[in-house]
Amino acid sequence: MRRFVLVLLALFVPTFYCFSTMPSLVGSLLAHPINQAVLTDVLTHCQLTNVFEAGNAADTTRLLCPSAYQESDFSDNLYKAVVASEDHSFFVHDGYNIWSMVRGAGQSGASTITQQVVRMLLLTNREPTSQATKGRKLREWYYAREIEKIAGKRQIATIYLNIAYVGGGRFGFEQGARLFFSKSAKNLDFMEAAMLVAMLPSPANRNPVDYPQDSFKATVKVINQAVGMNFISRAEATRSIEEAKKRILGGTILLNPDSSEQVEYRRFRDRALDELAAEHVHVPARYRILLTLSPEMQAAADEIAIRPGYQLAGAFLNKNAEILAMAGQPYVDASWNSVWLSNRSIGSVGKTLVIGAGLKKGVSFQGAFSNEPIPAGYSPDETDPRCFPRMSLSTAFKYSCNRAFVRFASAVGPSVRALATKLGFHAPDNYLLASTGGISGNALSLAALMGTISDGGKQVQAHATLAVLTPKGEVTWQYRPGKRPAIFSNAQAATLRTFLALPTTGDGTGAAARGQLRSAAVYGKTGTSNDNEDALFAGFTNNWTGSVIYTRDSRTRLRNRLSGFQAAESFGSVVDAYWADRNRAAVGATVSRGPFAEGRLWYQIKLDDFFVVYGIPAGAALAVDMCLLFGATRSIRRFWPRNEVGPDELTATVTADAA
């Protein structure tokens, strides 16, 4: 007996050591292993890939977004069903299960959830030879352990729920829930969750519509596995099995393909390929391209209204100059990508560049400027009754008054043309036209301009691509930000932000950009051009910058022509979509009082990565302080008006108002 035990130990210990140290050995043998920074990008960013396509379909791309939906967007029943079915030891292993690998000898069926995430996001399901399949398994082990070092179990499970293939060319259980049950994944009961999980790994063969018997058997198996892990009670399992029998075998589950929609990503595909071609990057035949696309922002951009008779272009960037979303016409109608390829007049947004050039040159904008007709030379029309004969430059900016700006531009001189060119715009030879539509650009260059101003004056170079990977999990190219030249000083950028706060306040031309909820600070400027042929808004809020442009799609006369209001309104719809949930999450946030301004007390509610500012009437300060004392921050949001100015601008705004 003792000899038998010694023999077992002699066999087991080397085997255990071999499997447990294999990932480190594999990592040392990879030609271009992914570092943790890139791996983090893989786990948090959308990717464009064709590695799942067979044969001639390699030109077909798929979008995988591991962070498209958060943990709270999935029913807890889904987490239970996935772990029970796919990986019993999920919460205790380090990415791979040694016992399963020993039993499976490294073949299919022995993969943990983490390994499946690796296969979906880094490797491939399809290898030409068994030897290649074994090589893929070795990479799986290595990257699974690396993922476990930087991501928690719940995050890994959430990533899996976002990217698992659910059939019909759809990825993620949110898409599956909408396809089979016409509901969100957060509302799935256990039977529904079990049925979706039971389709894995071959949804085409366990589809409840086409193969109800196979689907029912697989669903019952998942339910019983959940009982075995004490995830659900036997009574709940019995109810779920009865429900499955009634709905799956009864044929009441019907596909609803219209309820399962993915964000529009093909503009990102085109932009990414353009960027890589410009960098002379070789893209392999089978590839994964990491994108900066934000599913949340892209969904909001997809909802921007299409105006009859006009083409739409929009771009939205974060503070790292990453393109979050691009808006446009339905893609089938688009023959080219106007977001970054068009060259249209930016209208009165050009006044921002005139002010910037004046600041850099040291031209004074204090005092009043004449808005009377210019007797000799260029004298544009003035149709807004708010454009008085004499006015400050800030008021002229707020209401887009032209003649005052032409006079200011004459003092600035040709330097405005040089500034516009440096920022990627096309400027006219006659610099007096710069503030009245003479400068041209596109949605992306406008968003980048606003990013430059919002980020202290350092030039923004927008990009949509983060890295290129092979199906072997190796990096062939990675985006590396270059040095950002300072276009404006911090003080100059702050002054420009003060100007840009004016059009979005009160009755300013861009007030609609704040959205209907008025839930965040918004800065920006509207513009129109060529008899309202184009209408646009460019601006920024606390976490991102953006622009929306409507361009007339023909030379025919339109009965209802647009103004900058409609473009600002569309920008405001994105502001509302972005800030609504974040403001609701503000309960319990840190609150601090700010300075007096215009008879109000400013209160800043600060969260992890954003803030909301409220302007409170000074007479109500005692009541507000009592709310703060008892932690009732919800009361402030419910009863007191918000302001339109961010806390970083309060001092500058107070000074301007006092002057």
For the stretch 370-422, pLDDT in tens is 888 888 788 888 878 888 889 999 999 999 999 999 999 999 999 999 999 99
Find the CATH number of the domain harbouring 207. Answer: 1.10.3810.10
Among 259, 291, 315, the domain boundary falls at 259
Residue 507: phi and psi, rounded to 5, are -100, 25
The predicted-structure confidence for 516-538, as pLDDT tens digits, reads as follows 888 788 999 999 886 667 899 99
pTM, to two decimals: 0.83
Token pair, residue 66, equals: 């591991």
Three-state DSSP at 529 gives strand
**Number of neighbours of residue 214 by Cβ within 10 angstroms:** 17
Q: Would you say residue 564 lies in a domain?
A: yes
Residue 607, Cβ density class (10 Å: 0-12 exposed, 13-18 middle, ≥19 buried):
middle
Q: Would you say residue 42 lies in a domain?
A: no
End-to-end CA separation in angstroms for the chain? 96
Residue 206: phi and psi, rounded to 5, are -130, 30
- Those residues whose C-beta lies under 8 Å from the C-beta of residue 179, and which sit 6 or more positions away, are 166, 167, 168, 170, 255, 256, 257, 259, 260
Which phi-psi region, left, alpha or beta, contains residue 69 (left: φ > 0; alpha: ψ -120 to 50)? Answer: beta
Q: What is the pLDDT of residue 382?
A: 85
Find the CATH number of the domain harbouring 277. Answer: 3.40.710.10
Among 226, 259, 292, the domain boundary falls at 259
Distance between CA atoms of 41 and 80, rounded to whole angstroms? 27
Positions in the chain whose pLDDT score sits under 50? 5, 7, 9, 11-19, 25, 28, 55-58, 104-108, 129, 587-589, 591, 593-600, 606-614, 634-659
Is there a single domain that holds both residue 481 and residue 336? yes
Among 526, 548, 582, the domain boundary falls at 582
Is there a single domain that holds both residue 450 and residue 336? yes
Residue 329 per-residue DSSP state:
S
Place of tokens 């140290």: 21
Q: What is the pLDDT of residue 137?
A: 80
Q: Would you say residue 455 lies in a domain?
A: yes
Is there a single domain that holds both residue 134 and residue 253? yes
The continuous run of DSSP H or E covering 338 comes out as helix 338-341
Is there a single domain that holds both residue 562 and residue 598? no
Is there a single domain that holds both residue 53 and residue 112? no
Is there a single domain that holds both residue 162 and residue 297? no
Is there a single domain that holds both residue 547 and residue 622? no
Is there a single domain that holds both residue 158 and residue 178? yes
Is there a single domain that holds both residue 421 and residue 496? no
The residues pairing with 67 across neighbouring beta strands, listed in sequence order, are none
The residues pairing with 345 across neighbouring beta strands, listed in sequence order, are 440
Distance between CA atoms of 27 and 20, rounded to whole angstroms? 13
Is there a single domain that holds both residue 202 and residue 242? yes
Distance between CA atoms of 482 and 497, rounded to whole angstroms? 25
Q: Would you say residue 39 lies in a domain?
A: no
Q: What is the pLDDT of residue 17?
A: 46
Q: Would you say residue 35 lies in a domain?
A: no
Q: Would you say residue 398 lies in a domain?
A: yes
Distance between CA atoms of 405 and 431, rounded to whole angstroms? 11
Q: What is the pLDDT of residue 607?
A: 42
Q: What is the pLDDT of residue 627?
A: 60
The tally of CA atoms less than 13 A away on the side-chain side of residue 41 is 20
Domain count, the chain: 4
Angle between helices 234-244 and 190-198 (to 10 degrees): 70
Is there a single domain that holds both residue 23 and residue 159? yes
- Domain limits for position 207: 2-30+65-259
Q: What is the pLDDT of residue 106?
A: 43
Q: Would you say residue 403 lies in a domain?
A: yes
| CA-wise closest residue to 605 among 597, 613, 594 | 613
Q: What is the pLDDT of residue 656?
A: 30
Distance between CA atoms of 506 and 194, rounded to whole angstroms? 53
Q: Would you say residue 37 lies in a domain?
A: no
Place of tokens 């951009």: 301
Is there a single domain that holds both residue 551 and residue 472? yes
